[in-house]
């Protein structure tokens, strides 16, 4: 049994039930000693207490130390009254959430590795000396004091893991744990020199963010910042590629700890995005041996996380494509395949330095992020088909009659397709302004001084040198807001149906169509079937595809004018996560033949079942819009039978298909390779498929953990062979 399997067996054998989360209590014990000090300093000590006072959990087969198990204690270890009081005190200091730039962040791991913890503390000291004479010195020195408190506590946390690992290693005569203890001792202050040391320091930092309660903290471009250590170790005989695979796998499998602790989400644990491949900062190919090591490690873990993203470009080796497709073919559904030729120009359009654009990573699902140089990510959803509904009904919802949009006139007064498009744009502009205004109000709800984040700021350029918080001018770039513009296929299909039925064939008026949609096609099933038979997006038909092109262009035009509270861009995404289902639930019937309340089209993909001419036509249609205007990212879901991955010849055909797709300017593709029969059987016998992983949207998940409507949405995707 290899070391990964030994760790998996051990982790799955431990009973983690009947426990209380004590993170609020640990933080409270830091707060209570510093009530008389500023909120910033009190927060810093609360964070410090989380790091220092949690009990390090060591697995017998640990190779890379660090576990979230210290957040929990057996039920009864602390009274419920104690835990509640601690939670009340923490709540009084307030907590920022996803909308206030708290997590979904790619930390500046290269700088941490370059300096080590001791070097980071020295940087804080140097900044303090440089800013003592500033007019706002008191505020800056307060920030730097908070950063120092947190970073010193992080050092103590690493020491505590070293002590715990050494104690357990001596008790069990486990040489692996003793080696891990020696590494942790070194990393408590000194910078890493080997691959294992560098990986260990990164994982310690990642675990520290989880103790703070942060979520979806990306590991970024691991194959880039860890590669110098890997290359040096291999050349000097310190490590082999197989040993590196095992080390990475033993680390990444811990993403599944939440599932084991009986606190699972539908994806089984945390969402941790890792980017591999792509371009270097100088524009050359970044794919290296470590890219393959990470890919193999993720394959061996065989869990929904990490959320692996493979960046491709025109010079990406065919071998890397094939290696990615073979992992996808196991059924995991990742890595997601990303096209640098679309995303890098989209980011450059936002004003970032081109070197930083080439160095992007992903946070969460597919959201492009300037690694370690901008505040944490925030995003939302924009229900595009709803604004077409408003355009047809004078700004009113067809379901409840409420005026949510603009009063742009009745359908009886719209006499041309162009007039309808103009009205639709007016509704989208109003909706965009309302959406971004609501976000900015929520995003700016909290005082940036009182809600300072000194620890996270240490991992963002150039907060330490500027002596400013990550959300208060410390980051190189301002914050951004991403909006998933949902339903591109639903809108394109609907606009094509209106043009054909109302303005070309004149089978009915726009007002008559509006009334039929309000009635959900009652008494008009024949018309609905006729609408369903009209040209649909995904079949390489310009009559309908032109509207997808038009819609993306218009949404870019609308949102690129808007800004976040600190002057950052509002990105658009052709993505929906699984909200195409909830978005459809609040929309009336649409002109494409979709019924009231039914799901919208999925992300940037064609409507389920409407891609009638095969995957090559899908590729030709979906690559027509200009994705260099989509800075956030896109999701195009495709489903292939397992047999499509059954030989090198078939893999080569898939590779050729994807390379053409990307050469035409498309941005992303992700592939499910679990057969329909298996998915149906898993619905009927979930107990047999507890470890079945599928690609959902921008993430993979355990299929049997998904709600039935999401399972059905996956089942409805067209299956290609």
pLDDT, averaged across the chain: 93
What pLDDT band is residue 266 in, cutting at 50, 70 and 90?
very low
> For position 698, what pLDDT does the model report?
63
Give the span between the Cα atoms of 494 and 434, in whole angstroms: 24
Specify the residue for token string 């059954």: 646
What letter would DSSP give residue 371?
T
Full-model pTM: 0.94
Terminal alpha carbon distance of the chain: 36
- pLDDT bin (cut points 50, 70, 90) of residue 96 is confident
Which token pair is 89? 């005190």
- Domain spans of the chain, in order of start: 19-217, 227-371+636-721, 379-633
Choice between 74 and 547, residue whose per-residue pLDDT is larger: 547
User: Does position 394 have pLDDT exceeding 90, yes or no?
Assistant: yes
Task: Find the mean pLDDT for residues 200-222.
Answer: 96
- pLDDT, position 445: 85
Q: Which two tokens stand for residue 259?
A: 């599932």
pLDDT of residue 267: 47
pLDDT cut 70: percent of the chain above it: 97
Burial readout 130-152 (b: 16 or more C-beta within 10 A, e: otherwise): ebeeeeeeebbbbbbbbbbbbbb
CA distances from 10 to 165, 172, 181 (A): 16, 15, 20
Structure tokens at 60: 């017998």
- Average pLDDT of the residues in 536-540: 97
**pLDDT-derived band of residue 12, with 50, 70 and 90 as boundaries?**
confident
Q: What is the mean pLDDT of residues 76-83?
A: 94
Q: Output the CA–CA distances (angstroms, integers) from residue 289 to 216, 226, 227, 337, 376, in the order listed.
A: 26, 11, 8, 18, 30
């Amino acid at each position: 049994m290899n070391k990964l399997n030994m760790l998996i067996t051990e982790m799955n054998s431990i009973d983690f039930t009947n426990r209380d989360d004590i993170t609020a209590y640990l933080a409270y014990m830091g707060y209570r000693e510093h009530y008389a000090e500023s909120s910033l300093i009190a927060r810093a000590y609360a964070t410090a207490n989380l790091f220092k006072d949690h009990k390090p959990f060591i697995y017998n087969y640990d190779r890379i130390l660090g576990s979230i198990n210290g957040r929990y204690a057996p039920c009864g270890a602390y009274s419920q009254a104690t835990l509640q009081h601690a939670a009340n005190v923490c709540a009084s200091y307030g907590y920022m959430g996803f909308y206030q730039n708290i997590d979904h962040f790619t930390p500046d791991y290269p700088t941490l590795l370059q300096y080590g913890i001791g070097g980071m503390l020295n940087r804080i000291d140097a900044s303090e000396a440089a800013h003592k004479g500033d007019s706002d010195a008191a505020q800056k020195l307060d920030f730097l004091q908070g950063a120092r408190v947190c970073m010193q506590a992080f050092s103590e946390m690493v020491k505590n893991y070293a002590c715990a690992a050494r104690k357990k290693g001596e008790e069990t005569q486990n040489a692996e744990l003793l080696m891990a203890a020696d590494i942790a001792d070194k990393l408590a202050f000194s910078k890493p020199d080997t691959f294992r040391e560098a990986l260990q320091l990164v994982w310690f930092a990642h675990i520290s963010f989880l103790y703070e309660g942060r979520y979806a903290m990306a590991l970024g471009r691991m194959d880039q910042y860890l590669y110098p250590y890997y290359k040096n170790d291999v050349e000097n005989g310190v490590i082999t590629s197989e040993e590196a695979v095992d080390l990475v796998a033993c680390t990444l499998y811990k993403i599944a700890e939440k599932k084991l602790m009986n606190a699972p989400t539908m994806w089984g644990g945390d969402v941790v995005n890792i980017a591999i491949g792509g371009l270097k900062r100088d524009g050359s190919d970044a794919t290296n041996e470590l890219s393959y090591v990470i890919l193999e490690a993720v394959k061996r873990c065989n869990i929904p996380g990490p959320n692996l993203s493979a960046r491709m470009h025109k010079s990406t080796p065919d071998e890397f494509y094939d290696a990615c497709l073979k992992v996808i073919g196991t059924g995991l559904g990742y890595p997601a395949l990303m096209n640098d030729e679309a995303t890098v120009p989209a980011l450059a359009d936002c004003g970032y330095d081109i070197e930083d654009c080439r160095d992007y990573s992903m946070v969460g699902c597919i959201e492009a992020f300037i690694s370690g140089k901008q505040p944490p990510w925030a995003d939302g959803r924009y229900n595009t088909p709803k604004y077409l509904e408003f355009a047809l009904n004078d700004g009113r919802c067809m379901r409840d009659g409420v005026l949510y949009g603009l009063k742009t006139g009745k359908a009886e007064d719209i006499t041309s397709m162009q007039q309808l498009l103009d009205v639709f744009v007016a509704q989208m502009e109003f909706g965009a302004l309302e959406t971004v205004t609501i976000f900015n109000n929520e995003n700016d709800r909290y005082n940036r001084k009182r809600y300072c984040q000194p620890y996270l700021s240490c991992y963002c350029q150039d907060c330490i040198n500027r002596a400013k918080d990550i959300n208060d001018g410390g980051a190189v770039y301002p914050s951004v807001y991403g909006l998933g513009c949902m339903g591109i296929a639903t809108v394109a299909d609907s606009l094509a149906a209106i043009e054909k039925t109302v303005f070309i064939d004149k089978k009915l008026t726009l007002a008559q169509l509006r009334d039929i949609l309000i009635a959900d096609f009652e008494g008009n099933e024949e018309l609905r079937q006729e609408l369903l038979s009209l040209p649909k997006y995904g079949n390489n038909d310009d009559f309908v595809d032109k509207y997808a092109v038009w819609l993306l262009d218009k949404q870019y035009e609308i949102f690129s004018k808007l800004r976040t509270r600190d002057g950052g861009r509002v990105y658009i995404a052709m993505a929906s996560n699984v909200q195409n289902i909830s978005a459809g639930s609040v929309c009336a019937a649409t002109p494409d033949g979709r019924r009231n309340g039914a799901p919208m089209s999925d992300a940037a993909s064609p409507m389920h079942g409407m891609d009638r001419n095969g995957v090559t036509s899908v590729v030709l249609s979906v690559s027509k819009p200009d994705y260099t205007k989509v800075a956030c990212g896109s999701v195009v879901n495709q489903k292939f039978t397992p047999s499509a991955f059954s030989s090198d010849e078939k893999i080569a055909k898939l590779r050729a298909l994807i390379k053409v797709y990307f050469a035409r300017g498309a941005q992303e593709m992700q592939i499910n390779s679990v057969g329909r029969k298996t998915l149906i059987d898993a619905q009927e016998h979930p107990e047999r498929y507890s470890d079945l992983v599928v690609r959902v949207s921008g993430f993979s998940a355990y299929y049997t953990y998904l709600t039935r409507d999401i399972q059905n949405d996956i089942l409805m995707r067209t299956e290609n062979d």
